[in-house]
Amino acid sequence: MKKLFSAVLLTSVFTVFSIECFAATKYISIGTGAITGVYYPAGGAICRLLNRGRKEHGIRCSVESTGGSVSNLNAIRNGAVDFGIVQSDWQYHAYNGTGFFADQKPFKELRSVFSLYTETFAIAVLEKSGIKKFDDILGKRVNFGPQGSGMYATMEVLLELKGWKKQDFAATTYLQPSEQPRALCDEKIDVMIYASGNPNGVLQEATQSCKVRIIPIDSETVEKLIQKNSFYVKAVIPGGMYAGNPANIETFGVKAAVVTSDKASAEVVYNMTKAVFENFDNFKTLHPVFSSLKKEEMVKEGNSALMHPGAARYLKEVKIVKD
């Protein structure tokens, strides 16, 4: 009887302990992008570093594959995810209720955590297509990327800037990044649009699977774009990074950034920021696009929304941000 009582007592204690541990764990999610893109492994790298310290802070981080920047911003607004990786331009528009978000009220509850790398806007075409410059894509079959993605929204900005309409193309498609290289090489589309850090798997697959040229965007278009939208920057895709493209490719870009809302726990945001910045050398090895990151730039560039107090607290402690 004593043995039975002891066994029941032990089981009860273990059950209560397990429930308390489960209740104490804070589960958070980061909205990213397609699995074949850079956002997904970038979110995974952040979660990996944060989860290493879960015994101390009790936070468990997971990554969700999503449609990209616009989807992530809407998901944060709706409470479907806690954090998201987004392009700096769509962070700006969501915060101010402009551009793609003009039909929604300004998302003033949006908060920045830190920015990451520069994303370049790339236009890939078959070498034999005869397409050599940006204006040559008129009348062609162009893939805008999935609706809800930053690249799709950026194409709409470019169309407005150039005075073009979708009807000016032979066809417009909205394929996922993972579908685009095959569609281009199989000649189902003429133009593939992709925005990401470099190197990335999508452009690598396209350029290694068939003869693909990444075309530049003319300086006049880039300068007009930056003049109207200060969150864009001039950018270069390095020559030799992708097969068959030995020369530097002039284009424009935005910053990828981690954002959340003012509802996010200051402790959670503090520990996420700490996990990345205290393990910075390790973080830079977790994906090739991180290799050139600088702490100061991650705080100063690409963050349109107010900084979350949890991030500010850590960054002030280590003197990256001044009081």
State residue 181's pLDDT score.
97
CATH 3.40.50.720 fits 120-254, yes or no: no
State residue 150's pLDDT score.
79
Task: Mark out the alpha helices in 79-179 (DSSP H runs).
Answer: 88-96, 150-162
Looking at the chain, the domain(s) classified CATH 3.40.190.10 span 24-118+255-317, 120-254
Question: Which residues on neighbouring strands pair with residue 62, listed in sequence order?
Answer: 29
CATH 3.50.50.60 fits 24-118+255-317, yes or no: no
Rounded to 5 degrees, φ, ψ at 39 are: -60, -40
Rounded CA-CA distance 69/195 in Å is: 11
At what angle are helices 69-78 and 150-162 packed, to 10 degrees?
120
State residue 49's pLDDT score.
98
Buried b (16+ CB within 10 A) or exposed e, 290-320: beebeeebbbebbbbbebbebbbbbbeeeeb
Contact 15, 24 (CB under 8 A): no
C-alpha radius of gyration, the chain, whole number: 22
Helix/strand/coil percent split, the chain, to 5: 45, 20, 30
pLDDT by 10-residue block (mean), the chain, 323 residues: 46 46 80 91 97 96 94 97 95 92 96 95 96 97 89 91 97 95 98 92 96 97 92 92 97 95 98 98 93 92 94 97 84
Rounded CA-CA distance 163/292 in Å is: 36
**Residue 112: closest CA among 318, 264, 290:** 264
Q: For strands 141-143 and 191-196, give the pairing.
A: parallel
* pTM exceeding 0.85: no
State residue 153's pLDDT score.
86
Sign of the CA dihedral 54, 57, 60, 61?
Answer: negative
State residue 311's pLDDT score.
98
Preceding peptide of 199 cis, ω within 30° = yes
